[in-house]
């Protein structure tokens, strides 16, 4: 939601209106000592959230619990986690990699090499050797934690204050810069993982996945680290005011820097727009320009291009 012609506060006015850090790595299989580990569903959670945060997939989680309608989970429900989300059994002879408290780590998957992990985490192999104390000849095993390089702490250049002819206030771009740096420090899922998360979230929330993917493609190219000068963040490019509205819609506070919450925010906003309009094209235009502005001013030229692009992409994803 990064139109230069509106911050999306207009959208809030029109309708009254989606964590845990993700490194794009999954936990590996392990033996269970007694009974399978479980997750108790919290308010506002979806299977997509739970799968991302426990290192498994929506399909595996649904299969492990005999769920045929993924949207039908309830607060307080106890979900068995599949083996891919279980904590590794201590020992096993793997080479260890001690990480300082709070340092980022990757968890080894079946078939991983240090080269795989470096590529997935977006770091150089040399930096991974240095941070983990491991060498390419060392043995690593599924479930093992490998310390990742700590992001550089040097000050970064601020986010540009001007975008497509619109200049944003200093406090807005300062917040955008802080969010960009925080996202860089957290790490992020891959674009393919973002697509899978968005698809699962859309299905669970009753919105056409093809439309959600089209919007995310147009907004960010599925980049979970994207931040605009308007302080629209994440794959769905949601600004804080719209994120607060989306949180009200789903009944809990949302962290827009969390990929799963960002997905919920964008899908919740799209769902509300679809419910408030008579056609998909107007809803898409409202996501970009703000629905109040669309109704008051009609479509700006860049909004027309945006809506046309999204609908073309939606046809591809459906």
* pLDDT above 90 (res 61): no
Residue 154 confidence (pLDDT) above 60: no
Long-range contact list for 261-264, CB < 8 A, 24+ apart? 261/18, 261/19, 261/49, 262/18, 262/224, 262/233, 262/234, 262/235, 262/236, 262/238, 263/18, 263/48, 263/194, 263/197, 263/198, 263/201, 263/235, 263/236, 264/18, 264/44, 264/46, 264/49, 264/201, 264/205
Give per-residue pLDDT as tens, 67-76: 876 666 888 8
Q: How confident is the model at residue 87, as a pLDDT? A: 40
Q: Is the pLDDT confidence value at 157 over 70? A: yes
d(CA 56, CA 44): 19
* 268 vs 69, more confident: 268
Mean pLDDT of 128-156: 72
Q: Where are the domains of the chain?
A: 9-18+157-317, 38-85, 105-147
- pLDDT of residue 88 exceeding 50: no
Percent of the chain with pLDDT over 90: 39
63: left (phi over 0), alpha (psi -120 to 50) or beta: alpha
**Fold topology of 9-18+157-317:** Lysozyme (1.10.530)
Q: Is residue 146 pLDDT above 70, yes or no?
A: yes
The model's confidence at residue 52, banded by pLDDT at 50, 70 and 90, is low
Could you tell me the pLDDT band of residue 5, with boundaries at 50, 70 and 90?
very low
Residue 32 clears pLDDT 70, i.e. is over it: no
Distance CA 244, CA 36 (A): 36
In the predicted model, what is the mean pLDDT of residues 33-59?
Answer: 71
Mean pLDDT of 110-138: 75
Residue 148's pLDDT is what? 83
38 bridge partner residues:
80
What is the architecture of the domain spanning 38-85?
A: Roll (3.10)
Q: What is the pLDDT of residues 235-261, one digit of tens each?
A: 999 999 999 999 999 999 999 999 999
Per-residue model confidence (pLDDT) at position 117: 80
Residue 9: pLDDT over 70: no
pLDDT tops 60 at residue 10: no
**pLDDT, greater one: 162 or 23:** 162
Instruction: Answer yes or no: pTM beyond 0.75.
Output: no
Whether 105-147 and 38-85 are alike in CATH topology: the answer is yes
The mean of the pLDDT values for the chain is: 78
Band of the pLDDT at 20, cuts 50, 70, 90? very low
Residue 56's pLDDT band (cuts 50, 70, 90): confident
So what's the pLDDT on residue 19?
A: 33
**Quick one: pLDDT band at residue 92, thresholds 50, 70, 90?**
very low
For residue 6, what pLDDT is reported? 40
| 227 φ, ψ (degrees, to nearest 5) | -140, 130
Check whether 25 has a pLDDT greater than 60: no
| CATH superfamily ID and name for 105-147 | LysM domain (3.10.350.10)
């Amino acid at each position: 939601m990064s139109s230069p012609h509106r911050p999306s506060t207009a959208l809030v006015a029109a309708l009254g209106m989606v964590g845990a850090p993700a490194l794009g790595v999954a936990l590996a299989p392990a033996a269970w000592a007694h009974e399978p580990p479980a997750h108790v569903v919290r308010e506002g959670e979806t299977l997509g959230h739970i799968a991302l945060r426990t290192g498994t997939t929506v399909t595996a989680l649904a299969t492990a619990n005999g769920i045929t309608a993924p949207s039908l989970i309830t607060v307080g429900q106890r979900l068995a986690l599949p083996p891919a989300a279980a904590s590794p059994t201590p020992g096993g002879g793997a080479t260890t990699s001690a990480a300082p408290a709070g340092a980022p780590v990757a968890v080894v998957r079946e078939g991983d090499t240090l080269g795989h992990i470096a590529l997935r985490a977006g770091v150089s192999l040399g930096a991974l050797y240095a941070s983990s104390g491991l060498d390419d000849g060392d043995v690593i095993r599924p479930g093992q934690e490998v310390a990742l390089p700590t992001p550089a702490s040097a000050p970064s250049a601020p986010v540009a204050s001007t975008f497509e002819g619109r200049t944003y206030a200093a406090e807005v771009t300062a917040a955008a810069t802080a969010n960009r740096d925080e996202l860089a420090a957290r790490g992020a899922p891959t674009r393919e993982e973002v697509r899978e998360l968005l698809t699962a979230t859309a299905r669970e929330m009753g919105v056409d996945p093809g439309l959600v993917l089209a919007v995310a493609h147009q907004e960010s190219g599925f980049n979970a680290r994207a931040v605009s000068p308007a302080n629209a963040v994440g794959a769905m490019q949601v600004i804080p005011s719209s994120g607060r509205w989306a949180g009200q819609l789903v009944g809990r506070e949302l962290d827009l820097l969390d990929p799963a919450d960002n997905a919920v925010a964008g899908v919740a906003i799209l769902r509300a727009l679809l419910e408030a309009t008579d056609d998909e094209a107007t809803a898409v235009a409202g996501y970009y320009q703000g629905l109040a502005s669309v109704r008051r001013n009609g479509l700006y030229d860049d909004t027309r291009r945006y809506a046309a692009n999204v609908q073309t992409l939606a046809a591809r994803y459906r």
